[in-house]
Every structure is written in structure tokens, then in C-alpha cells.
Structure 1
Amino acid sequence: MFPLPFRALATVPVLAVAVLLVSCSASPKLPANAGDAGAVNPSATPSSARPVDVTKLDACTILMQADAETLIGTKLTEPQRASNSDVASCTYPGDPNGPTAQVEIYIGDGAKQQLDIDKDKLQHAFTQPAGLGDEAWQEDGMIWARTGSTWVSIRIVTLDDAAGFVVPLQTAMATALGRL
């Protein structure tokens, strides 16, 4: 049918696809030293909190509009709600006439995926605020916390200096965790 060299060449793409599939299924590795953003807090004790069913959760009840407005320091418009099998979210947009402002909360595995992307792929700089859930991470304009197996993230969009939102983000996260 086909000469032997042609059959050998035809198997190369098949082998390449197999190698790619195996390598893509491997788990990403976190940086080894504690100075890296990916270091996990070994002293974090898992809580006994029950997992949250995000398909039935209204994230806007976990971080309410008044909380979001206090966090960002300006009036926000009506929230936009969304949920699917891995995340429940609520977005509070700012007034289209300004100032630039938006507050978002995500609850579920999607929140953890955000953290993994920022840590592993984008290698952002993080701090670990104390006293928020079983594990917490913070970067400019965003905070994550885990209670039990449930992840929560809160993100702000603003043109103001991110340093002014470190404590307000932590306060908003404490409020949100208290309502889970």
C-alpha cells in the first residue's frame, strides 16, 4: 500500500498528540520556596464548613451592594448575577459617568481557578492576610479566601491607588465569609 517511510512519518503526528495529552493532564506545580507567591500556608487548618452549592447561591447576598459601595467608596449600579456549575458571581458596576468603579465577588471553584492563574501562570506578587478563613491570598485589587473547600474572591476595578484598598478588601472578605 504505502512505502514504509511514509507509514513511519504518519505515526509522528499521532505520537505528538499523545505526548501533548499526557503533558496537559499533569497537575501544575507550585513554587517550592515560601518567598514565592505559590507557597501554601502549611499551618492553615481546614475548617469543617460544609461545601457550598454554587448553583443555588445568589452571590449578591454574600456581598451586598452596601458592602460593595463601602469597599469601593462610591455609588454602584444594580448588580449583575450569574452562576453555573463552578461559580456564583455578582458584579456591581459603577456609574457610567464616573468615577471608574466596579466590585465583583466569585464563590466556588471558579474563584480558585482565578487564584491559580494569577499565581502559576501570571506569577503575581501576593501577601497572605491573617484571620480570613482557612487560607487567604491578596494582590493589588483582589483578595481570595478559602473556608473548608469553598473559595471566595473579591475584585475591584478602580483608577485609585490599590494600596488604599488593602484593608477594605480584607474587611469585605471577612463580611462575605461570615455570610457563607
Structure 2
Amino acid sequence: MTGRPITGGRRAARLTLHCLLAAAVVAAGTGCGDTTESPTGLPTGFPDDSVAASQAPPASTETDPPAAPAVINPCDLVTQQEAEQLAGTPLDAPRQVEATCTFTSPPTGPTAQVEVFVGPGAKKMLDINRELGHEFRELPGIGDEAYAEDNNVYVNISGQWISIRLVLLNDPAENRQALEDLARVVAGRL
């Protein structure tokens, strides 16, 4: 070699030669001449299929991870009519932000809001309110477990937590039965 760079046609020819040599090496190492397949789905052409079988991926000894819980749209759990009945006033159409669905009162109406939370955020709200010393009532017969506090209900169904919160400027005792009834309806939808 003269030390000059390879240019033009000579470079293309040398690259082609390298590619052909690489292809030949790969074909020789994999039994490329025989296109039949072994029961493992790998090429045959070896004296016995033990080499092909040794190249098969190892069988998994681990169990499959549990399936992720189904994604639940929080706005599918409470209807417009149910939210308005709970709030006792007309509400705007629901707005969904991630795992939260919020029904708010129009600016011209009385203050009211219904919020539906799904997933870990609902459970976190319950945990925080417990840490703050809020008083809870157990709601038997709703989901796997259910609890209520002033203007909030929390329901667990197969590990999926749902919370319904009512914002209303009245005595929370007036809303107790309506919240529990809605929790029962929502649990039945899951």
C-alpha cells in the first residue's frame, strides 16, 4: 500500500469485498447452507441438534408478573346526573385530569364540587386523613373494604382504590347517606 487514501471505485470495491467476507463467515458459522429448522426453530445442519438447542434461549423459571390493574376512567364511575343529585345542584360537565374526574358548579350557582379519584392517589388520601386523626366509619357490604368520613368515601375493590369527595357548604351529616349510596353504586360498576 502506498499510504494514499482509497477513493472512488477502489474504496467501494474494498467495502464490498469486506461485506462479502463477513457474510461468508456468518453463513459458515450458522449452517447457512441447510435451511431446514429444528424443533427449536433454529437452523439445523449440525451433526446433531445439540448445538442448535444450546443456542436456544433458556426457559424462564420465574413466574409471570401479576397483570397490572385495568386502567379505569374516573369519569366513567359517576354520571353527571349522579354527581348533580349528590351535590343537590346543577354541575358543569366533568373534567378529567389523569386519575381524577371533577364536576364543578357554574360560577353563577351555589358552591359545589364532586371529585372522583381512582388508584394510589385515592388510597394516599385515606392514609393522610387517618394520620391527621380524622374519624372514619366502616361501610360494610361495599367492595372489599370501604370507609367514610365527612364528605368523603373510600372504596377498595380487588386492590383498586376509589374515593369520592363532596365539597358542599352544608352540614356533612346531611350528605352521609347520599355519599354511601353513591359508593355502593360505583362499587357495583367495577
Deviation of residue 53 (structure 1)?
A: 2.9
- The alpha-carbon deviation at position 51 of structure 1 amounts to 6.3
Correspondence 1:157 to 2:174: no
Q: Deviations over 1:16-65 (max 9, x none)?
A: xxxxxxxxxxxxxxxxxxxxxxxxxxxxxxxxxx86433xx321111111
Tell whether 2:135 aligns with 1:125: yes
Q: Secondary structure at the match of 1:66?
A: helix
Larger-Rg structure: 2
1:138 is aligned to 2:138: no
Matched, 1:63 2:78: yes
SS in structure 2 of the partner of residue 157 of structure 1: strand
Query: 1:65 corresponds to which letter in structure 2?
Result: Q
Q: Deviations over 1:59-117 (max 9, x none)?
A: 1111111111111111100111021xxxx110000121221100000111110000000
Query: Cα–Cα, structure 1 residues 164 and 51, in superposed 2: closer, same or farther, change >3 Å?
Result: farther
Structure 1 unmatched ranges of 5 or more: 1-49
Contact 1:51–1:148 (CA under 8 A) maintained in structure 2: no
Q: Counterpart of 1:43?
A: none
User: What secondary structure, in the 3-state scheme, does the structure 2 residue paired with 1:77 have?
Assistant: coil
Greater relative CO (CA pairs within 8 A, separation 6+)? 1
Distance 1:51 1:163, change over 3 A: farther
Q: Does 1:53 align with 2:89?
A: no
- C-alpha change, 1:58 and 1:97, in structure 2 (3 Å) is same
Partners of 1:105 and 1:144 in 2: how far apart?
10
Length-normalised TM-score, structure 2: 0.62
For structure 2, list consecutive stretches of 5 or more residues without a partner in the other structure: 1-66
1:105 aligns with 2:154: no
Question: In 1, distance between residues paired with 2:156 and 2:76?
Answer: 18
User: Does the 8 Å CA contact 1:137/1:145 hold for their aligned counterparts?
Assistant: yes
**Counterpart AA for 2:174:** G
1:62–1:52 Cα change, 3 Å: farther
Q: Does 1:78 align with 2:86?
A: no
Matches of 1:146 and 1:174, distance apart in 2: 11
SS in 2 for 1:152: strand
In structure 2, how many angstroms separate the alpha carbons of the residues matched to 1:51 and 1:126? 29
Query: What is the percent sequence identity of the aligned residues?
Result: 40
